[in-house]
Amino acid sequence: MKKILILIVTLFFNVTIWAYDIEVDGIYYNFLHDNEVEVTYKGGRAGGYYSGEIVIPSTITYDGKNYNVTSIGMRAFSTITENSSLTSVTIPEGVISIGDFAFYNCTALTSITIPNSIKRIGKSVFELTPWYANLPDGIVYIGKILYCYKGEMPANTSIVVKDGIEIINASAFAECSNLIAITLPNSIDSIGEEAFRWCQSLSSITIPNSVTSIGASAFHSCPLDEIKIPKNVTNIGTGAFIYCSPTSIVVENGNPNYDSRNNCNALIETATNTLLVGCHNTVIPNTVTSIADAAFAGHVNLTAIAIPSNITHIELGAFVYCLNLTSIVVDDKNQVYDSRNNCNAIIETATNTLIEGSNNTIIPNTITSIGECAFLGRRNLTSVSIPNGVVSIDASAFQYCNALTSVSIPSSVQNIGNSAFFMCTALTSVTCEATTPPLLEWGVFDYIPFAEATLYVPAESIELYKAAEQWKDFGTILPLAQAPSGVENVTSLDNYKQSHIKTLRNGQLIILRDGVEYNAVGQKM
């Protein structure tokens, strides 16, 4: 009868529930598929951790049925103490995967036999083992896998990967900031997750025609100038090129899954017509219907974007950290989004929610909500005046707007979401006209300079704000009458006959009277 045991273990920073399905000859396994098993954790059971010399069989027999051993599970041999007595492990041919932390902290482990069948090795698999410590610094090859770069990489390092290597392992060069160039052989089949994450000196790489898969966040924050996707690449993980800010994106003709149609300088998923990665000179084709999460994230050279009529879905954070984005225009024929009143923002028409703003956004008075991450990372935004009628400011709406010095919140606002003004480190003036303090979710004003910041509220409500969570953290709370003059709440942008409207444009005060713009000293613009 199958034995089942559940052990709760606190390991690293996680609380994990460990389970096994069967035990054969002192080795514990979990079922994977009909005829496959993986080696799993033993620690804490009778007999303690694995010890001595372990030879893993290629097949096992249980209840009269044969199973192939194809995987070493996550943390299978790891220990939470320094009392490990495991000295040697032999892994058989047929095993294709070694999970994260599989041998972590096996402090007596001096010998590991690893077969060429291995296709994936997880994170920190061999750390804190004598076997790994005794390996020379530099590139670590295991079978046909480039496992990692061990030790401190010298400045201005260029690497030529040896022929025959098929896999660049997950996190192989992660945070190798001194890597300036790497040459991959035509034997490479896959580039693992986070393989080159935060290689901040890696400005170019040639992806060989042999590559079929690029893992999630593989080139996260690499300053790649050009991205060229060969026709054989059929799988690109989420965020593979996030924060790369390329100037050119080209997909080779004949790729069945991806394209850069019309020389648009973008990576598009063909089947879904989704723009996955863009650059500062992308021209979004009319045939694209969706823009993916973080598609333009971190493009510091992106100043303007035009949203065509066929776009029906823009995922959260598509334009985060576009520091210099000043112009946003939505095609008038778009039935899902608009940029009414030349507001330089993307508005979800049906809900009147501003979902993406720019440094030049003038928030229309028809808006009822400022969406999640709408201005996240707009580090050149200095001041914002929110019109009356806005009911909610959603999570992270102005997060990391480091140049934002003043915010004016109207009486209509009832709720401000998580981290809405998180890390707005220059924010020293907040005006809130609500007599009842709006509900703040957690961390709304975290890391603003509370000691230097002044909150201006209705005189009759000062004591309420002093007692309200987070509001009470402001160093000074004063009545509205003492608020600095200058930027007023935007009350209407639809009616250009209003006698007096003030707003900011490129940091300059603009006064609109009867449809005519004047500067701060009364001169016509």
Residue 487 has pLDDT above 60, yes or no: no
Q: pLDDT category, 499, cuts 50, 70, 90?
A: very low
Q: What is the mean pLDDT of residues 344-372?
A: 97
DSSP letters for 237-284? -TTTTTT---SEEEE-TT-SSEE-GGG-SEEEETTTTEEEEE-TT---
pLDDT of residue 18: 54
- At 64-99, the pLDDT tens digits run 999 999 999 999 999 876 668 999 999 999 999 999
- At 31-62, the pLDDT tens digits run 998 899 999 998 666 567 899 999 999 999 99
Domain 1-134 bears CATH identifier 3.80.10.10: yes
pLDDT of residue 502: 40
Pairing of strands 501-505, 508-513: antiparallel
Residue 120 has pLDDT above 50, yes or no: yes
3-state secondary structure 414-426: CEECCCCCCCCCC
Q: Is residue 323 within a helix (H) or strand (E), and if so which, with residue range?
A: none
* 105 vs 510, higher pLDDT: 105
Nearest partner of 486 among 523, 520, 524, judged by Cα: 520
Q: Give the pair of three-digit tokens for residue 374.
A: 């709408």
User: Distance of CA 224 to CAs 42, 180, 199, 353, Å?
Assistant: 44, 11, 10, 34
CA 98/CA 96 separation, integer angstroms: 7
Partner residues linked to 420 by β-bridges? none
- At 238-281, the pLDDT tens digits run 999 999 999 999 999 999 999 999 999 999 999 999 999 999 99
CA 57 to chain centre: 40
The DSSP code for 413 is: -
CA 425/CA 346 separation, integer angstroms: 26
For the chain, the domains span 1-134, 136-223, 495-525
Q: Residue 99 in contact with residue 91, Cβ under 8 Å?
A: no
pLDDT of residue 490: 30
- At 424-476, the pLDDT tens digits run 999 999 999 999 999 999 999 999 999 999 999 999 999 999 999 999 999 99
Looking at the domain covering 136-223, what would its CATH class be? alpha beta
Residue 1 has pLDDT above 70, yes or no: no
pLDDT of residue 362: 95
Q: pLDDT category, 13, cuts 50, 70, 90?
A: very low
Residue 330 has pLDDT above 80, yes or no: yes
pLDDT of residue 358: 96
Q: pLDDT category, 163, cuts 50, 70, 90?
A: very high
Query: Is-same-fold flag (1-134; 136-223)?
Result: yes
Nearest partner of 37 among 66, 6, 3, judged by Cα: 66
CA 73/CA 56 separation, integer angstroms: 13
Q: Residue 510 in contact with residue 493, Cβ under 8 Å?
A: no
Q: Give the pair of three-digit tokens for residue 126.
A: 């061999």
3-state secondary structure 24-77: ECCEEEEEEECCEEEECCCCCCCCCCCEEEEECCCEEEECCEEEEEEEECCCCC
Residues in the chain: 525
pLDDT of residue 34: 85
CB atoms within 10 A of CB 322: 28
Nearest partner of 401 among 381, 371, 431, judged by Cα: 381
pLDDT of residue 79: 86
- At 167-209, the pLDDT tens digits run 999 999 999 999 999 999 999 999 999 999 999 999 999 999 9
